[in-house]
Structure 1
Amino acid sequence: MSAATVTSPAPASGRPTATGNRPLKPISWKAPIGYGVVGLISLVLFGLVPPTGRTSTFTVSTPSDFFQIDPITVPSKTTAIVLSLVALALAAVSFLAARSRRKVGAWLPALFGVAVILAFLTWADAGKASPLPLTGLLQGSLFLAVPLVFGALAGLLCERSGIVNVAIEGQLLAGAFLAAVVASITHSAYAGLVAAPIAGALVALLLVLFSIRYVVNQIIVGVVLNVLVVGVTSYLFSTVLKVDSATFNSPPKLPTLSVPLLSQIPVIGPVLFRQTALVYIMYVVVVVLQILVFKSRWGLRLRSVGEHPKAADTVGIKVNLTRMKATVLGGGVAGLGGAFFTVAAGLAFGKEMTGGKGFIALAAMILGRWNPTGALAAALLFGFSDNLQVVLGIIGTPIPSQIMLMTPYVVTIFAVAGLVGRVRAPAAEGIPYEK
């Protein structure tokens, strides 16, 4: 048999064999081990440890739904054990798939996450006088994910073109500031919504100026811009907004817009179709960017300058101009996300009110593999963890409040750490291009 023929399949030990002249990739056991460990922790903590009560109650209906669904009451310990066993079964499926080098779709981590989260919620709500509102939890999670989605999309646009945008935090803060000021002066939340992306684009122009024109290290420029925006907005807040808050810092709130009929579907309706205009804009931006980045000529050029700028230049693509346009567009998208903190949430502007959401957005971008829909899913995960600590704090939970406040950041760390070595950034990311 010649050397080009297919050799025997991979043994159970996981050692790679060759197909033709190409060796098979080593088996990665990271995902099956991770699923197994989390499943065992879920079984021990939420199933075997005695809960504070015998039953858990969940509500799923809202008063304006087409029909009402009675609160769901389940035995706490039994339900948590069953859900944890389901998670362990999914871990076994992941093990078998890794052993045979088969890829599993997104359904497996999604189902695994749902099983573990439901087991945790069942344990946390055991014996509580107030039922846990599942629909409200999901609705708030989507709303809190909005700035993360816009920030992740901004980073995606920039890094797909080869520019590292660490200044997302500053762009969000600038958008929140200008949205609050313009909305307060005009008494229109929608005017603030229009002004927010302008602030983000201006910060992005500074990033372009220093990283492309003067070839300064992009990460350093991003960090400096974050500090600059914090300083400028804090100074203006102290000298202008705080002095005359009635004129400059009393923005009206975006109204909640309910889509007729769709918003009355139980669970799905309140979550997806009973939101503010900013959430609906987010839907559109995610879909449009998914199509533009991967299905259009513009997207092909964008990705080419981020992967191999020299080759793109040889076919006539203006590399630095493409990077500039993508970075400014990304800054505008991030600025739009900044409007969440003021006009969408109905809050006055405050110093450093973004609270590090720009850096979590960067993590969502990486976890989403520089893909709009992936970034959306990752941002929803972080938004859910952020809202979870609020909801559990309201109903009362045996978990200390300090640990609950850590939840969004711990989830961010574990989610990104779990994908180290499995994602690849654009090849020319952060590398200046000079002819």
Structure 2
Amino acid sequence: MTGTPSTPRRFLFGRGSWPETRRIGDVLRAETVGGALLLGAAVLALLWANSPWAPAYRDLGALRVGPHAWHLDLSLAQWAADGLLAIFFFVAGLELKREFVAGDLRDPRRAVMPVAAAVGGMAVPALIYTAINAGSSAGALSGWAVPTATDIAFALAVLGVISTHLPAALRTFLLTLAVVDDLLAIVVIAVFYTGSLRPLPLLAALAPLGLFAVLVQRRVRSWWLLLPLAAATWTLVHASGIHATVAGVLLGFAVPVPRRAEGPGPGLAEHFEHRWRPLSAGVAVPVFAFFAAGVPVTGGLGATLRDPVTIGIVAGLVLGKCAGVLATTWLVRRVTGASLGDGVSWWDVLGLSLLAGIGFTVALLIGELAFGAGSEQDEHARIGILAGSLVAALLATVVLRVRNRHYQRLCAAEELDTDADGVPDVYQQAGPR
């Protein structure tokens, strides 16, 4: 009697394609270097802000440059937050669109988990912060979104320092989760942290944005055409009252992903990502961190750590992010009936969930918007972000270090099993892995 063929098992963290694995590896290397620069800039800012030369640090951040007639006479700190971070979100928009259009996550079954985990990882920290700050000082609740965002560069830099040989599917999960919740954070900023909306500049921004979209759809790469249109879009979005980083996301989404039908070479999204990622990771994010992380911690630190704002942010990043990502992943597995993957353990998911609690760049940005740059609550929020991110990084290091030897042995075995084509044989085998 012939048995019925068994249904192939579905894996939440199954092995992806070799081109996607190689691309994710390249992205991780670039972001790891950027994360190291980010960490260095933050440490430098903290040391300078707590040194005898602290007034010079504050004066540097407050120095105004730019044309007053266009309402762009901004301080250097504002240029870093509004201008340089637009480059960061432009690259994030390119990355997310490329992942869902041409990457492994174009399969909805593979995309649902990191997207759901990002949503859960934002909702639970916000609820924890709100519960801790309910009934506290006036304005404290406005910071509910501060602990919701994961810092891509910082989290991947920690992952690089750990030197863990995580499977590509787990690394893709972390990268996609971080990109998705950073972009969701931009939606939160646009909806909840827009003070006064001026519709006329916002409508006017559609003209250069539309022309930019038409040109990139025609595969135009001339910087002297595209860069002025991008700058005009950014300027008009900034003038509308919506945070100018939204312009970066819109411009990134406008770039087409598929390769050209004729001729070799990368597609336009891949081309732009290759050109702009080093500037984003190596300049934009570290400079923003330099101006945002310099908070004085020499006096009244005990009172700051007892502030519900600080407590809510630390609890949201360390406990909320971990619980939200872990619980949502468990729920997706429960609903779909899928397995985690060959050799993948819940300890791996716990380690990644803790890494997601490293909230720095976008968390600092939201803190400034929620409490006002330079205010006492903003300083408390920055200390909470620094403390929570440090605790989350240390806990993630402990968990993932334990798993490092296991995956190191597996990776060593797979790397030895490689043909002359340079592609590991495990990526040429049939069947779900």
Q: Please classify the TM superposition score into its range, dividing by the shorter chain length.
A: under 0.3
Relative to the length of structure 2, the TM-score reads 0.24
Structure 1 or 2: more helix by fraction? 2
Larger radius of gyration, structure 1 or 2?
Answer: 1
Structure number with greater CO (CA < 8 Å, separation at least 6) is 2
